[in-house]
Amino acid sequence: MAKRIFAIIQARMNSIRFQGKVMKEIKGMPLLKILIERIKDSKLLNGIIVATTVNPEDDIIYEYCQKNNINIFRGSENDLVERMLFAAKAYDVDVIVEQGVDCPLVDAKLIDL
């Protein structure tokens, strides 16, 4: 049976270095969307999940994903590893490609390598 490989994007509004960067727009497009569109070019991924927190500040991320049919998972604000693992379990993922919004210009060819 083939392994299910998903990119899991860690995203939250309460960044220490750059508050709200996930939804900041460049040329009218949120950084989150730019990252997702670039990841979609991967030939090996079976899907993408955005893993955000249960913090009410992150409702905007949840609502954006719901509106745009993007897989979304909400979990611990303080335990990133737990949030990533529970997101993987929720979507029956075998292999996680961890991705952060800090690097919205990721090259899908590098993911496939």
pLDDT digits (tens, 9 = 90+) for 7-26: 999 999 987 788 889 999 99
Contacts within 8 Å (CB) and 24+ apart, 16-25 = 21/101, 21/102, 22/61, 22/101, 23/60, 23/61, 23/64
Q: For residue 76, what are its two tokens? A: 């611990």
**Per-residue confidence (pLDDT) for residue 87, from 0 to 100:** 98
- Write down the pTM of the prediction: 0.94
Across 78-100, average pLDDT: 95
